[in-house]
Amino acid sequence: MKLTGSQAAIESLLHENVTVIFGYPGGAIMPIYDALYDYTHSKKIRHILVRHEQGAGHAAEGWGRITGEPGVVFATSGPGATNLVTALGDAMMDTVPMVCITGQVNSAVIGTDAFQEADVIGVTAPVTKWSYQITQVEEIPFVFKKAFHIARTGRPGPVLIDITKDAQLASFDFEYPTEIKLKSYNPTTQPHMGQIKLAAELLNNSKRPLILAGHGIHISKAHKALFDLAQAADIPVALTLHGLSSFPNDHRLYAGFLGMHGNYGPNVLSNKADVVLAVGMRFDDRVTGRVVDYLKDAKIIHIDIDPAELNKIIHVEAPIVADAKPALQELLNHIKKQKHTQWVEEFHKCNAIEKTKIWDNDCNPKKGPIKMAEAVTRISEATNGNALVVSDVGQHQMIVARYFKFKLPNSFYSSGGMGTMGYGLPAAMGVKTAAPDKEVISISGDGGFQMNIQELGTIAQEHMPIKIVILNNGFLGMVRQWQQLFFDKRYSMVHMQSPDFIAVAKAYGIKGMKVKKREDLAGGISKMLQSKGPFVLEISVEQEDNVFPMVATGASVSDIRLE
């Protein structure tokens, strides 16, 4: 089949079962957009025109997080490609499959500082799993096949293909590979049985075992395997930020949310565990606190598909390189049924302390301004925890993680490793596009929301019925909290004057409502959820509200503060 490089690029995407592209056209990728014209009009593929390339990247992340398949992005050369860097770095840190296709200037002028030329491979190599520049049209089928294979398999991640304009315009005989084998890339998915037996022996002899579960549970779809193992061995389960919604939060073995602003129990009791099973998580600094004091008395089992994560930060007795699901299933075959009633009860006691000191006041205040936790709790109750929730980054992110009662597996999406403000709104577009029949709620602060506020235009044009919540405290809240606690309340450049968000939404043709009083909160949430189209609900919350518990930077998790 004789095709141009541009047509071959689209046909390659169809061979990879791509149905949606998030993108923004420009000069160097114009031939691909010209080819795309026929495919969109025949409805073979859908293109969503974003308002900024960063928005395209985060939307593709949202798609990748919920489907497990690579989100696809188109962007032009120069600034179009460099605008993707933040989203690529975010996807790389958070293990999200994504394939970005960027146009490039003609190969004859590469290196001459041509108009909108940038060294895209040099710029993106540190934040991609693989990146490659196509200068010969014949390379397109194999490179696309390789890109999707690398993005999907092993530890998923972002891949970038840069295609010169002359390669897009040239013609060749197109044939797409049916399979691919790469000598230098063969991820291990099945566990080593010797390590599984060692791990089982450690757990079977444990008196105070603890499971730390992360994003790998969602990626591997290992929710049932995790639940069955925890049940069989009666082990408390604590979840990382990306692990939230991987274990029922109303189960007696749910220990809570790990990390700097996580629950009291899993933080203060981590160092009392004698055996820790870590699955699909990477022991980042927000979880460990001061590393030298973390899990000093515990024997550690670590299951991860990426061998680079094993023994990287924490010494591990039983490292297991494998996909989480088969590893947990195999481990279950060697586990003895046990009861750790007293140990589990310690977590329940910690929960009771946290409830008295924090939850009761934050979730059900009797007077004063609306609190963030109160707003999130009411949204959780109104949806019965059955929404897909996309959070931006900041105080509200930690509040959502702490107080939304997720009922659906893999139903919480946020930026973890990079902590990217502006992630929430465009990522919600990707989630909603992939799950049109689910209720999708985007929750942002007034700061993060304004970083990609222009994507309201995309939401309006594409008629995406996303429910958008802005918790407005007039500050860059997380920075302000740190300045209050550690910089003597020297509030440097954190007060933020915002536009009338409801008027901005209206300008885009999106309905909205602002809530200032507690007595209007339930009605506002109800109106938002009943809206058939997109809806912006701005909630004015307490300005100097803080998120506790908190583990200060450089402190041990055992030193977690309740106030």
User: Hey, which residues are catalytic here?
Assistant: 53, 115-116, 165, 478
Q: Find, among 81, 117, 122, the residue nearest to 100 by Cα.
A: 81
Q: For residue 348, which amino acid is it?
A: H
For tokens 């790990």, the residue is: 258
* Pairing label, strands 158-164, 98-104: parallel
Q: For residue 312, which amino acid is it?
A: K
- Give me the count of residues in the chain: 563
Residue 429 near residue 48, CB atoms below 8 Å: yes
**221 CB-near residues (< 8 Å, 6+ apart):** 68, 325
Q: Look up residue 510 and give its two tokens.
A: 């999106």
H/E stretch holding 169: helix 165-169
Q: Find, among 367, 307, 291, the residue nearest to 551 by Cα.
A: 291
Residue 370 near residue 521, CB atoms below 8 Å: yes
- The alpha carbon torsion through 7, 60, 85, 180 (nearest 10 deg) reads -60
The residues pairing with 275 across neighbouring beta strands, listed in sequence order, are: 209, 299
Dist. CA 394–CA 415, nearest whole Å: 10
User: HSE on the CB side for 285, CA within 13 Å?
Assistant: 8
Beta-sheet strands, E only, within 280-430: 299-304, 318-321, 388-391, 412-413
* Pairing label, strands 46-49, 2-4: unpaired
Residue 281 near residue 306, CB atoms below 8 Å: no
Other beta carbons within 10 Å of 489 = 10
Dist. CA 401–CA 266, nearest whole Å: 14
Residue 279 near residue 303, CB atoms below 8 Å: yes
Q: Find, among 220, 240, 244, the residue nearest to 328 by Cα.
A: 220
Dist. CA 274–CA 213, nearest whole Å: 17
The residues pairing with 100 across neighbouring beta strands, listed in sequence order, are: 73, 160
Helix axes 477-486, 395-403, angle to 10 degrees: 100
For tokens 């701005």, the residue is: 538
Q: Find, among 172, 153, 150, the residue nearest to 7 by Cα.
A: 172
CA of residue 545 relative to chain centroid, distance:
25
Residue 82 near residue 50, CB atoms below 8 Å: no
Helix axes 140-152, 5-15, angle to 10 degrees: 30
End-to-end Cα separation, the chain, in angstroms? 68
Dist. CA 494–CA 334, nearest whole Å: 54
The residues pairing with 289 across neighbouring beta strands, listed in sequence order, are: 556
